[in-house]
A and B are shown apart, each in its own frame.
Chain A
Amino acid sequence: MGKNLFLILIVISVLSILANSCSPDTFVLNKYEGDNVIYVRMLNGIGKTEKINENSLEIKPDAIVSLKFIEETQFIDEFNLTLKSGNGVSLYLYTTEAEFGEQKNIEVNLTTAGYKIIKNEEMIAGSDSIKLELNKNYRIKIQQEGNLLKFSVNCADIIIQVSKYVSNEYLIFQTGRTSEIQIDGITKQEN
């Protein structure tokens, strides 16, 4: 009896570890927030993103991370972005996890030198006055409305037309080789 129990306990312990080892490249944010669930997936290897709490994550250097807002294709998404180290981050919209390598339709490049919005590999907007500073908190708002995309950094709004692009559930982050960012306070509203 003692021997059996010992064996069973070992196996249960091992299986509990395994249950947590089956998909280490994904986690869920806002799990208990009803329709506000966000699936986070590390696209280029595990360990490049850490969940801080139910509503915050830290994206480490050299990471490609997708946030999937389940079945929300016309969302208003707001979050705080803090650059912890390095010189910036790129956000990709109108592309999916599966298409990311082939289509980077809208890229918002936020760096310590300014911002650039690149549409289909062509720069359509940019400024060196709206820029990130290390360890400073920025409120980012992304609003998709029909063929318009409204992008806000704190109080600065940038509106661009995105006709002919198909909107989807994804927001993809890519950090540089030394950049590390923290995202928290993610709120999502239906448009």
Chain B
Amino acid sequence: MKVKKYIIGISSLISLLIFFVGCGSITREEKDAFTITEIDTTFTNFVKNSPANKDNGTVFPSSKEVLVERNLTQRDSEYTRYYPDFIRLGFFESIGIVTGNTDNGIGTGLFGLFPMDNISQSFRGKSGKTFAGGIYRLGIGEWRLRWFRDAPNWTYGISLFEALIPDAKAEDILTAIYPFYIRKRFYLKETIPYVSVTPSLGVGLLPSQYLNLSVSLDGGSIGGFNVRAYLGFAVGYNSKATPQIKNNDYIHSDKTISFPYAGLGVSFLDFLNIVPETLVEWKDYQHSSWELGLIEMSLLTTNSKKSVFGDTTNTSALSGFDLQIAKTNIAIPILDNRFYVGTSLIRFLGLGRNTWAMAVMPIRVGYWHTLVEDELTTTPFLEFGYYPSYYINIGGEVNLRISDNVNIGLKGGYINGDSGNILGGSLVNNFGIANTFSNLYFGVSLRLIDDIFFEHQLRYNRRDLPKEPKIYK
């Protein structure tokens, strides 16, 4: 117990160290103070004529007086510039890995993203799965590491949480909060979307202790979306105190794990900067998307027979909901840049009882139009979900920007598809049997941590981008 407290303390200290030494910020501020000095001279003429006649001349000078005043005014001002201060900032990364274990495959498929058909604690995997495991990272940050006399493209970083899962056996899973990584990127393409080869070394401390050595071929980011191919080797140790052993139905002793892996990964809302981008102000940052959002929640009225909120006949206006996580709509630079292609990490549409759909990485194409500059936009779209549910969704949205990070909107459309019978379990208990469906829907949306961009912000519409950073020779 004492050891555990000690490790928790050290991990917290490490994370605090990173953030409070000023290395781990998202925005760098540079504030300059100025003093403007103005000198002004005023001339005031007075003519004070006496009421009586008066001769002017040497003895009687002119009655005109000139008052000359010199004023010096100083005004102080400040100007603050804001720069992005990170190399990478990401919400979620998922990698489907091949580890050589063919008997205990977890079954999350390509990219490690697709739902497992068994999520019970005693699940030991299935044979015949190509992608036996996965690597998952949540809340990723990387910052410039200026060592070896400022050698280029080194970074250090952490994630809030990381799991290395070679197979479905719980005792083989290595997990850590705040795992620490050092990476070096060799760029093959230095324009958006970047392409690089990235060797990395990671250390996890708690609850598992491990080392993860890998090299990846990275593509991205564009609109926060990235694809990566990995080769790596992980070695680690799960003590008896780890949840993986403590809650294990099969093994109760500590275990050392090592496995090589090859994998394919994607990441969402994961933004990568090259160093020159961190030297250009945020106002000149290159945006490739019309929309980027973390959470979108909608309440829907649909023509389904029963509401998703109760196993009753649908008599209320509120019969369903729509939830999307990590949504991105990336502008296509053709035809005035208004067409876009988009996806989400996950979308769940509960249109009514027995009428629901779930999609991982649905493909969306649409057209973006601004109705009121900086405020109101509209977008018709066509969306295709292919796994685990299959559907085609034709819809439209009207979005109102409330603030930089919050939007509300109206949405409506028609969706036709099949829930898919691979999920079962609690989903069926909560939302009804998997079924084919065909529904109209209409609803209101609230989007949190969601950025809508406008024409003047899109990099394709700004001829002055990318701005060259100021580098003195």
In this assembly, does A160 line the interface, its C-beta being within 8 Å of a C-beta of chain B?
no
Q: Are B209 and A7 in contact (CB under 8 A)?
A: yes
Instruction: Tell me which of A11-19, A76-84, A121-129 binds B.
Output: A11-19
**A residues in contact with B72, CB < 8 Å:** 146-147
In this assembly, does A23 line the interface, its C-beta being within 8 Å of a C-beta of chain B?
yes
Chain B residues touching A, range: 35 or more
Q: Are B472 and A163 in contact (CB under 8 A)?
A: no
Which of B34, B76, B180, B205 gathers most chain A CB within 10 Å?
B34
Residue in B closest to A144 when the chains form the complex, CB atoms: B35
Contact with B along A159-185 (1 / 0, CB 8 A): 000010011111000000000000000
B101 to chain A, nearest CB (A): 25
In this assembly, does B60 line the interface, its C-beta being within 8 Å of a C-beta of chain A?
no
Q: Are B35 and A12 in contact (CB under 8 A)?
A: no
B282 to chain A, nearest CB (A): 14
Instruction: Tell me which of A29-37, A43-51, A150-158 binds B.
Output: A43-51
Q: Are A4 and B472 in contact (CB under 8 A)?
A: no
**B residues in contact with A45, CB < 8 Å:** 150
Instruction: Tell me which of A52-60, A93-101, A109-117, A134-142 binds B.
Output: A93-101
Q: Are B35 and A73 in contact (CB under 8 A)?
A: yes
Q: How far is the CA of A143 from the CA of B470 in the complex (A)?
A: 29
Q: How far is the CA of A8 from the CA of B21 in the complex (A)?
A: 19
Q: Are A101 and B3 in contact (CB under 8 A)?
A: no
**A residues in contact with B33, CB < 8 Å:** 71-73, 168-169
Residue in B closest to A21 when the chains form the complex, CB atoms: B147
Interface size on A, residues (CB 8 A): 40
Q: Are A4 and B34 in contact (CB under 8 A)?
A: no
Q: Is the interface of A mostly helix, strand, loop or mixed?
A: loop
In this assembly, does B473 line the interface, its C-beta being within 8 Å of a C-beta of chain A?
yes
Q: Are A46 and B149 in contact (CB under 8 A)?
A: yes
A71 to chain B, nearest CB (A): 5
Instruction: Tell me which of B138-146, B216-224, B264-272 binds A.
Output: B138-146
| Residues of B1-58 contacting chain A, CB below 8 A | 3, 7, 10, 13-14, 17-18, 21-23, 30, 32-37, 39
Q: Are A21 and B145 in contact (CB under 8 A)?
A: yes
Q: Are A23 and B146 in contact (CB under 8 A)?
A: yes
In this assembly, does B316 line the interface, its C-beta being within 8 Å of a C-beta of chain A?
no
A176 to chain B, nearest CB (A): 14
Q: Are A22 and B146 in contact (CB under 8 A)?
A: yes
In this assembly, does B74 line the interface, its C-beta being within 8 Å of a C-beta of chain A?
yes
Partner of B35, one of A44, A74, A96: A74
**B residues in contact with A11, CB < 8 Å:** 10, 14, 180, 203, 205
Chain A to chain B contacts (Cβ below 8 Å), 27 pairs: A3-B237, A4-B3, A8-B10, A8-B205, A11-B203, A11-B205, A12-B10, A15-B18, A18-B147, A22-B144, A23-B23, A23-B146, A24-B146, A44-B471, A44-B473, A47-B149, A74-B35, A74-B74, A97-B30, A98-B32, A100-B470, A100-B472, A101-B470, A147-B39, A166-B34, A167-B34, A167-B35
Q: Chain B residues in contact with chain A, CB under 8 A?
A: 3, 7, 10, 13-14, 17-18, 21-23, 30, 32-37, 39, 72, 74, 76, 81, 143-147, 149-150, 156, 180, 203, 205, 209, 237, 470-473
User: Beyond the given A98-B81, A166-B37, A167-B34, could you list 20 further A-B residue pairs with CB under 8 A, ordered by the A residue number?
Assistant: A1-B3, A4-B7, A12-B14, A15-B18, A15-B180, A18-B18, A18-B145, A18-B147, A21-B146, A22-B21, A24-B146, A43-B472, A44-B472, A71-B33, A72-B33, A74-B74, A98-B30, A101-B472, A147-B39, A170-B32
Q: Chain A residues in contact with chain B, CB under 8 A?
A: 1, 3-4, 7-8, 11-12, 14-15, 17-19, 21-25, 43-47, 64, 71-74, 96-98, 100-101, 146-147, 163, 166-170
Which 5 pairs of residues, A with B, have the shortest CB-CB distance?
A: A22-B23, A73-B35, A44-B472, A21-B147, A19-B21
